[in-house]
């Protein structure tokens, strides 16, 4: 006869205090993400899953997070986030649930003159929560590396201008589907130049001259992106950050804007 | 005669949009921190400094952050955070200012039986801001590595119990000085055992048996710390996080509580 | 008529000095890896590619690394490493070439008692080179997280024993194919216990008791793995490292053995 | 009467296999480093210490590494590395010993035109070993961030040129003392421009124009440094690496040269 193992998690805890979030962190897991041109794209995610825990229960049943994840294996896309959260609340008898999914996303990009194609990688993330009143909230994050050329350096120097790789982070909450690809296009259009994995000499000439003709402070970039997101429609709120890996300094410079849209 | 270099930062930007935060990030810099037993302790910090920027100015003058930092060189302690922020607002003509300072902090600790002394390192941080209405807010963060032994594993197994290193993060906002040392003591008292850099065999026996006698879920730890912080006094709000580097899994488990104190 | 852009890389450099390695680093790229049970497994790699550069050429043509990579897109497995290196030497007119490919690898694993299945992730790598005399060398690396329970802590304590997550790294050079799965099995058999993503209570009891019955120092683990690799056959050389994330300390303990096999 | 705790480490292991390296890793510890202008400079190090272990002993006594470290607390400079290693061999009855010490190092630097002073940080390291035949070997590492401007981009473009932050790593083995400061000067002289923490507008103009007048491929930089190290004298061997954080790509480009000097 099987031994009955006691369920310590169900005991009453020493201190009856509600816990905001309890769960599992940094699970490496293969998922699929909707892709504007190729239907779905397989990738490898880092996933964290949390629920709330009422003061009267000592512990949550951590293994259930994995059982839920495994049920949807190979088919974890942004479309099932809400039902995943509902399952988490049900299986773990929780009042609220949260999930964070970070992953690299690949886009085939053409070099500006030669037209040669190559893959570019963008770190992305989906973040979703269901709260006590069953309100579902979701936002996504896209990190877009770009080139920014300093307007001050260009203006005051007889020739040349310092420029550098910048990471622009955009977080968007929207009720309707917005393609990752469209946000990347919007961001790249606001920087001195997009980045490419593969550039031939004629492309490098084009990128260099374009960047020199389009100098941007870190402040200019976040403002121009904010201006365009304000006009994008379908957005509830957004946050824009940009961090320049300054080529003349050993530290970075940074700017950010966070806004609630009236639309 | 010296050339007059134009001040591109003072131009009117294309888009008149306020920027929430603009500044410099991840500056490595030697500082001093107040130490409960040794007056001050020299350490190496990672510093970020931000101000707000009104929509009408194109850029901030990033070099001034360094001029301010260098003025206080060797004497940057938590006591001067407010005046640093005031200088930032003044020099950069800003409506608000923020500073983040992260650093390792060392405490000499005695092994529990042999009494042998050794240094333990704790990652800490000071975070301060001055807002548009001149309200000064400040909190500090302490990361305390501890040992946690699983109550469920102990209960259901005939012998042994899995245990692991955990990182507990406590953030505290208080109007009065609270010593880093006191928060570390409080946290270590709520875990299965503190960690030590140097343990002789008799100490290792003590730590092993103590941890076995004091099993703690990640949920128990954050609750017990919250319970004690509620009774600590002088605290406006706190946040407690704990992350167990599970010895039976390749992922971590996590719990957190955030509270505003009525005191 | 198209402008002729000068090829600066082909100029004679200021200093006629041979360069050992020149290339591209940390390219994030989707690849496929041979899988013992499922034929191939898609994953996301970090790739670095290098060639040597004779003293008489000023620079290498970095874009060609990407052209070669893109030619094999979606079909980059360990079987084509040699031909990739040959292409690199040909296209870049180089005397030697090297490639490094790091990626997460997933295995479906059954919990020891309940038999519940879940995915476990292992960080792996392929490293290959072709030298001036056309000698092809290749090794692979597997990182296996395991649980180790301290024999000293168990022996001197009346009950319990500290245990922790350990990362074992094995690098193997072999002329014949060795499955990643087989090395993972070998390593997990030498530790106090394997790790699992999903454990039910009966599994947790089993893992806890098994680990207590099988205590292992970091030294025991690398010796036992070395002993088994010595008997594995088909191996030219290997290197074993193990790093324990000590649950009683804030630092790690480490051991390593490197050997050339006579077989 | 005190209990006698058995010394499990002294047991005979299951497999009589020599272990190359066993020890403690990533200890955060305050140290002092010799400074060319200010005598000594306090900093915070990451220290790893290893010894060999003969096949007949089951384990090493890890706590002794800390006892040795603590004996020299506050006075750990490069001058005592040899005696530290001798103590490690003696206390741990080992045939060989190794130590690795990594730390940030600060230099006060003047901006090129305004002369304004500011601190720049450089990641450095000391590495030392004593082998079975009592041969002492030592090398140090300096990481120097610099600006590099692409000669190809400049040549083919009508205006501008892409440039970026680069990290140059130099490792030097020398029988005589070589100042960190002198290697930093040598490296900065071989790049398009040094980096500065604090630059006023007139300095930024100077740095921008100087970099445009002194374009450097990653290959040029390692060659020029190698050329100068060949003429530096007192060097047994060196290794030079440079990694450009390309502003037009999302990956880095890299070059390295390793040489034994005849001097």
Q: Are C239 and C147 in contact (CB under 8 A)?
A: no
In a domain, A208, yes or no: yes
Confidence band (pLDDT; 50, 70, 90) for B231?
very high
Chain B: partners with 3+ C-beta pairs within 8 Å? A, C, D
Distance of CA A164 to the CA centre of its chain: 22
C164–B163 C-beta distance less than 8 A: yes
3-state helix, strand, coil in chain C (%, to 5): 25, 40, 35
Confidence band (pLDDT; 50, 70, 90) for B175?
confident
State the helix-helix crossing angle for B81-91 and B63-71, rounded to 10 degrees.
140
In a domain, C56, yes or no: yes
**pLDDT, position D10:** 85
Residue with tokens 């050079």: C173
**pLDDT, position D262:** 65
**pLDDT, position B39:** 84
Other residues' Cβ atoms within 10 Å of the Cβ of residue C239:
19
Q: What is the SS3 assignment for A129? A: strand
D5–B201 C-beta distance less than 8 A: yes
Which chain D residue shows the shortest CA-CA distance from A165? D247
Q: Are B89 and B130 in contact (CB under 8 A)?
A: yes
Picking from A4-13, A20-29, C134-143, D151-160, which range would have the lowest pLDDT averaged per residue?
Answer: A4-13
A25–B253 C-beta distance less than 8 A: yes
Which residues of chain D lie closer than 8 angstroms to B118, CB-CB? 66, 70
State the helix-helix crossing angle for D81-91 and D63-71, rounded to 10 degrees.
140
Which residues of chain D lie closer than 8 angstroms to B197, CB-CB? 27, 66
Confidence band (pLDDT; 50, 70, 90) for C15?
very high
Q: What are phi and psi of D113, to 5 degrees?
A: -110, -55
A201–C7 C-beta distance less than 8 A: yes
User: Is the per-residue pLDDT at C1 higher than 80?
Assistant: no
Percent of chain B with pLDDT over 70: 98
Q: What is the pLDDT of residues D80-133, one digit of tens each?
A: 999 999 999 999 999 999 999 999 999 999 999 999 999 999 999 999 999 989
Select the residue from A201, A204, A207 to test the C interface by mutation, using most C Cβ atoms within 10 A: A201
Q: Is B6 exposed, middle or buried (0-12, 13-18, 19+ CB in 10 A)?
A: exposed
B164–C165 C-beta distance less than 8 A: yes
Give chain B as a 3 state SS string. CCCCCCCHHHCCCCCCCCEEEEEEEEEEEEEEEEECCCEEEEEEEEEEEEEEECCCCCCCCCHHHHHHHHHCCCCCCHHHHHHHHHHHHHHCCCCCEEEEEEEEEEEEEECCCCCCEEEEEEEEEEEEEECCCCCEEEEEEEEEEEEEECHHHHHHCCCCCCEEEEEEEEEEEECCCCCHHHHHHHHHHHCCEECCCCCCHHHHHHHHHHHHHCCCCHHHHHHHHHHHHHCCCCEEEEEEEEEECCCCCCCEEEEEEEEECCC
Once rounded to an integer, what is the mean pLDDT over residues B232-238?
93
Residues in CB range of A89: below 8 A, 6 or more apart: A51, A95, A96, A97, A130
Residue D117 structure tokens? 């002073």
Picking from A6-20, B179-193, D107-121, D222-236, which range would have the lowest pLDDT averaged per residue?
Answer: A6-20
Distance from CA of D34 to the nearest CA of B (A): 16
Residue D95 structure tokens? 């045939």
- Whole-angstrom distance, CA of residue A41 vs CA of residue A33: 5
Which residues of chain C lie closer than 8 angstroms to D53, CB-CB? 219, 255
**Average pLDDT along chain C:** 94
Confidence band (pLDDT; 50, 70, 90) for B1?
very low
In a domain, C10, yes or no: no
Percent of chain D with pLDDT over 70: 98
Which residues of chain A lie closer than 8 angstroms to B58, CB-CB? 217, 219-220
Residue with tokens 């040094």: D194
Percent of chain B with pLDDT over 90: 83
User: Is the per-residue pLDDT at C263 higher than 70?
Assistant: no
- Give bridge partners of residue A244 from the DSSP assignment: A166, A253
Select the residue from D142, D243, D248 to test the A interface by mutation, using most A Cβ atoms within 10 A: D248
B116–D27 C-beta distance less than 8 A: no
- Report the residue from D106, D198, D201 with minimal CB separation from B66: D198
- Report the residue from A157, A195, A250 with minimal CB separation from D121: A250
In a domain, D34, yes or no: yes
Gap between the terminal Cα atoms of chain B: 63
Range of the domain at C136: 19-260
Q: Are C219 and D22 in contact (CB under 8 A)?
A: yes
Chain C: partners with 3+ C-beta pairs within 8 Å? A, B, D
Residues in CB range of A1: below 8 A, 6 or more apart: none
Residue C88 structure tokens? 């690199």
**pLDDT, position A262:** 66
User: Is the per-residue pLDDT at B210 higher than 90?
Assistant: yes
Distance from CA of D43 to the nearest CA of B (A): 7
User: Phi-psi bin for B179: left (phi > 0), alpha (psi -120 to 50), beta?
Assistant: beta
In a domain, A143, yes or no: yes
Q: What is the pLDDT of residues A119-156, one digit of tens each?
A: 999 999 999 999 989 899 999 999 999 999 999 999 99
- Give bridge partners of residue B241 from the DSSP assignment: B169, B256
User: Is the per-residue pLDDT at A1 higher than 50?
Assistant: no
> Which residue, B151, B127, B229, B220, is CA-closest to B185?
B229
| Stated length of chain B | 263
> Which residue, B221, B70, A2, is CA-closest to C205?
A2
- Whole-angstrom distance, CA of residue B176 vs CA of residue B186: 17
Q: Is B1 exposed, middle or buried (0-12, 13-18, 19+ CB in 10 A)?
A: exposed
D44–B70 C-beta distance less than 8 A: no
In a domain, A32, yes or no: yes
Which chain B residue shows the shortest CA-CA distance from D3? B202
D163–A163 C-beta distance less than 8 A: yes
DSSP designation for D8 = G
The CA R_g of chain B, rounded to the nearest whole Å, is: 23
Residue with tokens 């929430």: B20
**pLDDT, position D152:** 96
In a domain, C116, yes or no: yes
Which residues of chain B lie closer than 8 angstroms to D28, CB-CB? 104, 121
> Which residue, A166, A186, A165, A164, is CA-closest to A238?
A186
C157–B211 C-beta distance less than 8 A: no
**pLDDT, position A93:** 92
Q: What is the pLDDT of residues B23-72, one digit of tens each?
A: 999 999 999 998 888 888 999 999 999 999 999 999 999 999 999 999 98
- Whole-angstrom distance, CA of residue C225 vs CA of residue C240: 7
- Give bridge partners of residue C258 from the DSSP assignment: C239
Which residues of chain D lie closer than 8 angstroms to B43, CB-CB? 30, 44
Distance from CA of D10 to the nearest CA of C (A): 10
- Report the residue from D28, D58, D255 with minimal CB separation from C19: D255
Which residues of chain A lie closer than 8 angstroms to B255, CB-CB? 19, 21-23, 53
Q: Are D238 and D261 in contact (CB under 8 A)?
A: yes
Which chain D residue shows the shortest CA-CA distance from C12? D220
Distance from CA of A127 to the nearest CA of B (A): 17
Q: What are phi and psi of D242, to 5 degrees?
A: -140, 135
**pLDDT, position C37:** 86
User: Is the per-residue pLDDT at B263 higher than 60?
Assistant: no
Q: What is the SS3 assignment for D232? A: coil
B42–D199 C-beta distance less than 8 A: no
- Give bridge partners of residue C154 from the DSSP assignment: none
Which residues of chain B lie closer than 8 angstroms to A244, CB-CB? none
Higher pLDDT, C260 or A100: A100
State the helix-helix crossing angle for C180-190 and C218-230, rounded to 10 degrees.
130
Which residues of chain B lie closer than 8 angstroms to C153, CB-CB? 204-205, 208
- Whole-angstrom distance, CA of residue D34 vs CA of residue D30: 14
Largest distance between two CA atoms of chain D? 87
Once rounded to an integer, what is the mean pLDDT over residues B207-231?
97
In a domain, C1, yes or no: no
Q: What is the pLDDT of residues A193-205, one digit of tens each?
A: 999 999 999 999 9
Q: What is the pLDDT of residues D139-195, one digit of tens each?
A: 999 999 999 999 999 999 999 999 999 999 999 999 888 999 999 999 999 999 999
Distance from CA of C250 to the nearest CA of D (A): 8
D58–C219 C-beta distance less than 8 A: yes
Which residues of chain B lie closer than 8 angstroms to D116, CB-CB? 67
- Whole-angstrom distance, CA of residue A35 vs CA of residue A179: 8
Which residues of chain C lie closer than 8 angstroms to D254, CB-CB? 21-25, 48, 50
**pLDDT, position A142:** 98
Number of domains in chain C: 1
Picking from B151-155, D11-15, D223-227, which range would have the lowest pLDDT averaged per residue?
Answer: D11-15
A7–C198 C-beta distance less than 8 A: no
**Average pLDDT along chain D:** 94
Residues in CB range of C70: below 8 A, 6 or more apart: A117, A118, A119, A198
Q: Are C86 and C99 in contact (CB under 8 A)?
A: no
CA distances from C147 to A177, B118, C168 (A): 43, 27, 10
**pLDDT, position C262:** 66
- Give bridge partners of residue B143 from the DSSP assignment: B123, B169
DSSP C151-191: HHHHHHSSS---EEEEEEEEEEEESS---HHHHHHHHHHHS
CATH number at residue A135: 3.10.270.10
User: Is the per-residue pLDDT at C177 higher than 50?
Assistant: yes
C205–A28 C-beta distance less than 8 A: no
DSSP C13-60: PSS---EEEEEEEEEEEEEEEEETTTEEEEEEEEEEEEEEE-TT-S--
- Report the residue from D20, D151, D226 with minimal CB separation from C256: D20
**pLDDT, position D1:** 44
**pLDDT, position C10:** 86
Q: Are B200 and B111 in contact (CB under 8 A)?
A: yes
Residue C60 structure tokens? 């290498």
State the helix-helix crossing angle for D180-190 and D218-230, rounded to 10 degrees.
130
3-state helix, strand, coil in chain D (%, to 5): 25, 40, 35
CA angle B76/D112/D148 to nearest 5° reads 95
- Report the residue from D21, D28, D155 with minimal CB separation from C255: D21
Once rounded to an integer, what is the mean pLDDT over residues C217-229?
97
Percent of chain A with pLDDT over 70: 98
Other residues' Cβ atoms within 10 Å of the Cβ of residue B188:
18
Which chain C residue shows the shortest CA-CA distance from D243? C25
Which chain A residue shows the shortest CA-CA distance from B228? A15
């Amino acid at each position: 006869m099987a031994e009955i193992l006691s369920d310590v998690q169900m005991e009453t805890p020493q201190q009856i205090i509600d816990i905001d979030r309890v769960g599992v962190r940094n699970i490496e897991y293969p998922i699929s993400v909707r892709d504007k041109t190729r239907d779905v794209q397989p990738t490898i995610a880092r996933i964290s899953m949390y629920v709330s825990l009422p003061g009267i229960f000592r512990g949550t049943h951590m293994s259930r997070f994995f059982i839920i994840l495994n049920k949807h294996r190979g088919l974890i896309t942004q479309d099932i986030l809400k039902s995943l959260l509902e399952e988490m609340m049900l299986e773990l008898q929780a009042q609220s649930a949260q999930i964070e999914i970070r992953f690299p996303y690949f886009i085939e990009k053409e070099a500006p003159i030669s037209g040669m194609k190559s893959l570019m990688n963008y770190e992305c993330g989906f973040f979703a929560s269901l709260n006590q009143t069953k309100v579902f909230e979701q936002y996504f994050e896209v990190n877009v590396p770009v080139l920014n050329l300093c307007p001050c350096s260009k203006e005051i120097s007889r020739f040349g201008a310092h420029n550098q790789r910048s990471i622009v982070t955009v977080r968007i909450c929207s009720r309707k589907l917005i393609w990752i690809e469209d946000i990347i296009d919007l961001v790249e259009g606001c920087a001195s130049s997009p980045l490419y994995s593969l550039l031939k000499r004629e492309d490098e000439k084009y990128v260099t001259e374009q960047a020199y003709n389009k100098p941007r402070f870190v402040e200019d970039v976040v403002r121009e992106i904010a201006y365009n997101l304000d006009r994008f429609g379908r957005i509830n709120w957004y946050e824009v950050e940009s961090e320049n890996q300054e080529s003349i300094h050993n530290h970075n410079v940074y700017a950010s804007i966070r806004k609630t849209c009236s639309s």
